[in-house]
Amino acid sequence: MNRRLFLQTGTAAASSLFLLKPLTVFGYAANSAIWLGLLGCGNRGTFVATSFSNNTSAQVVALADLFADKLDAGRAHFDQLNASLGRAPIDSKLLFRGPHAFEQLASSPDVDLIQISTPPFFHVRHLEAAVASGKHVYCEKPVGIDVRQATQALKIAGLVKPAQSVDVGFQCRSAPPIAAVADRIKAGALGKIALASGYYYAPASKEKTHPGAGPDEYRLRNWLWDRALSGDILVEQNIHIIDLCNWLLGARPLKATATGGRNILTHYGDCWDNYQVDFTYPGDLHFSFSSKQFSSDSLFDAGLRLFGSAGSASIPYSGPLRITGAQPWAWQDAASTAPGSGRFAPNGAFSDNLAFADRDKERSFIDSITSGNTHNQIAAGVESALSCMMGRMAGYRHREVTWENLLAHGETYQLGLNLDQFA
Ligand SMILES: NC(=O)c1ccc[n+]([C@@H]2O[C@H](COP(=O)([O-])OP(=O)(O)OC[C@H]3O[C@@H](n4cnc5c(N)ncnc54)[C@H](O)[C@@H]3O)[C@@H](O)[C@H]2O)c1
């Protein structure tokens, strides 16, 4: 029985597994390679799959992408990386291109783990195929850009087999300083938390041009500025801070009011370039969130602050990360960086307090596979995505939107192009 079949038989065969050594119960010895197939060979996908290769037992054996140039660049990168790690180059038969590449990758018996790093609009469709294949899945945030996709993702969550592990790319939770402050907050170091404040001030990204690209290809390559493809900056980018707030409060917002707009950006796209959102959580706790994504200066600052009856927590991407009040605490390396001194990284390779976020996220995911203590993070990912969608809808509609309003509206975005033209 090969490793894939072994995984797929999962619990159905559990009764016959008692003779096996614990390390092989889920098909992987702790030191055997997990064969990774990367779907979406762009900035983030390449960075994360490289980090998996360097920091875990995962080995990139397959690549898939809509566009040939991205697949070629991915192959050159991972052949070089594999060679430097003493591993084989990628077999040509495990290179998949075009709009059905995700299905071909999902049906490959040579892949144990699918890493989904495509633009947000496609995440849920790709997640569905990956989960149905029985493979492990690492899916970038957001899990869905509208209510229809989020609802579909929750159905997919119910199809994950016990032996399958599915992670969502909220790596900030795994950053050692943030994990450490989270432990203290969850143990009650702040007392009753009554107010939260968050921010994500990022520069604009650069336009991606490609010779001969028509309007649809241009949109796909510049998906970040396109509401349907990205979900807008609140759902696509700011979600990291809103996810941290939900996670640390152990709750999701009940309603939101918001303003914002597109005041600076003049290039292609319909995403807003700034937001001000006021979320209300249970207990009348207010989370005031502010963001912008424009300008070419290097200013980059993101973080979250929580204020409680016994103390306050300051959790910036860069700068002192600490708790003040009755139980003061500071991350020991925090003094080495100035607040807001971080450098923006389009591929999420942040420094300072997030320096080891990806490494530790990927290790924890691979551990979940090798130990058999599998994850299913889809529902939590959906909750954070819906929280952002609620803020977005409140902004677009210029009125308060409750969680129930959002779900009842059932908002749906259309892609508005046919991917088969890229077959
Ligand atoms: N966690 C983080 O910190 C972080 C940081 C950056 C990006 N991201 C997320 O990672 C994802 C990718 O972002 P990116 O910056 O790498 O974008 P990118 O444009 O650099 O890469 C996307 C890749 O997907 C390919 N692609 C597009 N549509 C496809 C399809 N239908 N099928 C197969 N391949 C397709 C593109 O050709 C491209 O190679 C996004 O969801 C983004 O939100 C997360």
- Asked whether 305 and 196 are in contact (CB, 8 A), the reply is yes
Q: Is the CB of 74 under 6 A from ligand 1?
A: no
Pairing status of strand 136-139 against strand 255-261: unpaired
Given pLDDT bands bounded at 50, 70 and 90, which one contains residue 296? confident
Mutational pocket test of ligand 1: of 43, 44, 230, the residue with most ligand atoms within 8 Å of the beta carbon: 44
pLDDT in tens, 298-309: 789 999 999 999
Alpha helices (H) along 206-287: 215-221, 227-230, 232-236, 239-249
Mutational pocket test of ligand 1: of 46, 121, 140, the residue with most ligand atoms within 8 Å of the beta carbon: 140
pLDDT in tens, 201-245: 999 988 999 999 999 999 999 999 999 999 999 999 999 999 999
* Closest-lying ligand 1 atom to the alpha carbon of residue 122: 31
Cα(119) to ligand 1 centroid in Å equals: 4
Mutational pocket test of ligand 1: of 118, 121, 127, 421, the residue with most ligand atoms within 8 Å of the beta carbon: 118
Q: Is the CB of 177 under 6 A from ligand 1?
A: no
Interior/surface letters 127-160, b for 16+ CB within 10 angstroms, e for the rest:
bbbbbebbbbbbbbbbbbbbbebbebbbebbeeb
- The CA distance from 243 to 246, in Å, is 5
Given pLDDT bands bounded at 50, 70 and 90, which one contains residue 32? confident
Please name every residue paired with 315 in a beta bridge, in sequence order, or none if there are none: 304
Residue 18 confidence (pLDDT): 30
Cα(345) to ligand 1 centroid in Å equals: 14
DSSP tag of 376: B
